[in-house]
């Protein structure tokens, strides 16, 4: 593969970055969302004087939703549906049989394709990680100071937050990937490429083979040379990579399980020169207890790696 110039590529210009992520508190409308497959919110409400229009913080981003965007639908502290927008948000009067009778008539509608989770995802399993890296970037903030979920209707999520939640979805991620591609009118990968992409999600297949070969089957941090122990870890997560990046050997590092976990969770990263970076929120003593030299510098990085490492550092605020 021809090397990319990391100086000439804008990390925000990849195909996968045209997807936005949202959290929706569907509340009492859960049944009608499931049956009718749309979301609706008012365009505005009035202040106490009954004359001055104001936009609720939870409605502000509704008009911004585009076809192919992903919305996590939450009810009773759990994500029950993954909704993929099949239309851009458009102006539409409140449906007559909508649950919230006191909402104003003027509003926005989003038609959606639903993936119903057989086992809903409890927000508590990712809450701490979410709060550490992403809560401040949400609009409005998803988690409140009292540890609960904001009562606002729709919340804009940074892309890293969307990827974090999707990682807990498991194999349904493949279904979501297919439906997003369809709604974004992207070229479908052929059968062999799709198989490679699916395997790459869990660090297997041609992606694993090429990553390990590039590094001579050796973890660049611990120097462990044992194929059976190494994990082909994406630098930019599978969820946030386009099809080419999902399979790019330069978007991977062969890491031992402890290093993989630290890197995948954003507790460590690497500079373009290979220097180990430890997140400000993480205890350096734990790194030492794991037998890792905090002054570690990995050797063997290529110019192509820098493009991905920059995005990893940006995602986790290094």
Q: Would you say residue 252 lies in a domain?
A: yes
Same-domain pairing of 179 and 201: no
Same-domain pairing of 178 and 198: no
Q: Would you say residue 9 lies in a domain?
A: no
Q: Would you say residue 105 lies in a domain?
A: yes
Q: Tokens 């709060």 appear where?
A: 131
State whether residue 165 is helix, strand or coil: helix
Last residue of a domain, one of 127, 159, 183: 183
pLDDT reading at 46 higher than 90: no
CA distances from 113 to 73, 84, 85 (A): 12, 5, 6
Same-domain pairing of 66 and 210: no
- What would the two tokens of residue 78 be? 């759990």
Task: With beta carbons less than 8 A apart as the criterion, state whether 89 and 108 touch.
Answer: yes
Q: Give, rounded to a whole angstrom, the gap between the first and last alpha carbons of the chain.
A: 29
Provide the pLDDT for residue 1. Answer: 38
Provide the pLDDT for residue 308. Answer: 98
CA distances from 265 to 54, 128, 162 (A): 39, 11, 14
Provide the pLDDT for residue 11. Answer: 43
Q: Tokens 């927008």 appear where?
A: 85
Neighbours of 96 (CB within 10 A): 6
Average pLDDT, the chain: 90
As a whole-number percent, the residues of the chain with pLDDT over 90 amount to 75
Q: Which of 25-29, 92-96, 114-118, 276-280 has the lowest mean pLDDT?
A: 92-96
Residue 138 sits in a domain of what CATH number?
A: 3.10.590.10
- Phi/psi for 288 (5° steps) reads -65, -40
Mean pLDDT across 38-62: 84
Mean pLDDT across 86-112: 84
pLDDT reading at 6 higher than 70: no
Q: Residue 263 sits in which domain range?
A: 191-315
Provide the pLDDT for residue 2. Answer: 39
Same-domain pairing of 165 and 298: no
Mean pLDDT across 116-134: 96
Alpha helices per DSSP H over the chain: 30-36, 127-133, 159-167, 172-183, 191-200, 205-214, 243-247, 257-264, 284-289, 303-315
Residues 207 and 234: their CA atoms lie apart, in Å, by: 9
CA distances from 53 to 58, 104, 155 (A): 15, 11, 21
State whether residue 85 is helix, strand or coil: strand
> Which band of pLDDT confidence, cut at 50, 70 and 90, is reported for residue 99?
low
State whether residue 125 is helix, strand or coil: helix
* pLDDT tens track for 205-236: 999 999 999 999 999 999 999 999 999 999 99
> Which band of pLDDT confidence, cut at 50, 70 and 90, is reported for residue 15?
low
Provide the pLDDT for residue 74. Answer: 97
Same-domain pairing of 56 and 205: no
By the 10 Å C-beta count (0-12 exposed, 13-18 middle, 19+ buried), 16 is classed as buried
Q: How many domains would you assign to the chain? A: 2
Name the residue with higher pLDDT: 105 or 200: 200
Q: Would you say residue 7 lies in a domain?
A: no
Which long-range contacts link 182-189 to residues 24+ away (Cβ below 8 Å)?
A: 183/67, 183/68, 183/84, 183/85, 183/86, 183/113, 184/18, 184/19, 184/67, 184/68, 186/15, 189/243
Same-domain pairing of 160 and 233: no
Mean pLDDT across 41-64: 83
Same-domain pairing of 41 and 148: yes
Same-domain pairing of 80 and 103: yes
Same-domain pairing of 158 and 207: no
Helices first, then strands: H and E counts in the chain:
10, 13
State whether residue 151 is helix, strand or coil: coil
Last residue of a domain, one of 183, 218, 246: 183
Q: Identify which of 133, 161, 135, 139 has the alpha carbon closest to the alpha carbon of residue 148.
A: 135
Q: Would you say residue 51 lies in a domain?
A: yes
Q: Would you say residue 5 lies in a domain?
A: no
Same-domain pairing of 78 and 223: no
Last residue of a domain, one of 155, 183, 211: 183
Give strand pairing partners of 122.
78
pLDDT reading at 5 higher than 80: no
Mean pLDDT across 41-46: 84
pLDDT reading at 10 higher than 70: no
Name the residue with higher pLDDT: 138 or 105: 138
As a whole-number percent, the residues of the chain with pLDDT over 70 amount to 92
pLDDT reading at 16 higher than 80: no
* pLDDT tens track for 247-271: 999 999 999 999 999 999 999 999 9
Q: Would you say residue 75 lies in a domain?
A: yes
Q: Would you say residue 299 lies in a domain?
A: yes
Same-domain pairing of 56 and 158: yes
pTM of the model: 0.88
Same-domain pairing of 25 and 165: yes
């Amino acid at each position: 593969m021809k090397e990319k110039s990391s100086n000439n590529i804008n990390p925000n210009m990849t195909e996968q970055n045209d997807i936005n992520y949202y959290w929706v508190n569907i509340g009492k409308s859960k049944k009608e969302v499931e049956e009718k497959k749309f979301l609706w919110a008012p365009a505005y409400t009035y202040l106490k004087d009954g004359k001055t229009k104001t936009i609720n913080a939870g409605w502000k981003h509704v008009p911004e939703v585009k076809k192919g965007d992903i919305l996590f639908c939450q009810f009773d502290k759990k994500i029950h549906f993954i909704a993929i927008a099949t239309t851009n948000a458009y102006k539409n009067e409140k449906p007559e049989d909508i649950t919230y009778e006191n909402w104003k008539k003027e509003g926005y509608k989003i038609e959606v394709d639903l993936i119903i989770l057989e086992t809903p995802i409890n927000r508590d399993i990712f809450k701490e990680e979410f709060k550490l890296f992403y809560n401040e970037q949400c609009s409005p903030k998803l988690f409140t100071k009292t540890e609960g979920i904001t009562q606002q209707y729709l919340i804009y999520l940074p892309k890293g937050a969307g990827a974090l939640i999707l990682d807990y979805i498991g194999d349904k991620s493949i279904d979501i990937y297919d439906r997003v591609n369809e709604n974004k009118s992207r070229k479908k990968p052929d059968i062999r490429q799709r198989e490679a992409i699916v395997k790459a999600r869990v660090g297997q297949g041609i992606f694993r083979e090429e990553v390990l070969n590039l590094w001579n089957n050796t973890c660049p941090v611990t120097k462990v040379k044992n194929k059976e122990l190494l994990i082909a870890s994406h630098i930019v997560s599978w969820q946030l990579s386009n099809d080419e990046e999902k399979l790019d050997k330069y978007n991977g590092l062969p890491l031992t399980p402890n290093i993989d976990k630290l890197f995948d969770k954003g507790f460590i990263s690497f500079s373009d020169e290979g220097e180990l970076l430890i997140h400000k929120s993480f205890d350096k003593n734990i790194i030492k207890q794991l037998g890792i030299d905090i002054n570690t510098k990995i050797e063997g990085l290529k110019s192509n790696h820098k493009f991905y490492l920059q995005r990893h550092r940006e995602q986790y605020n290094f």
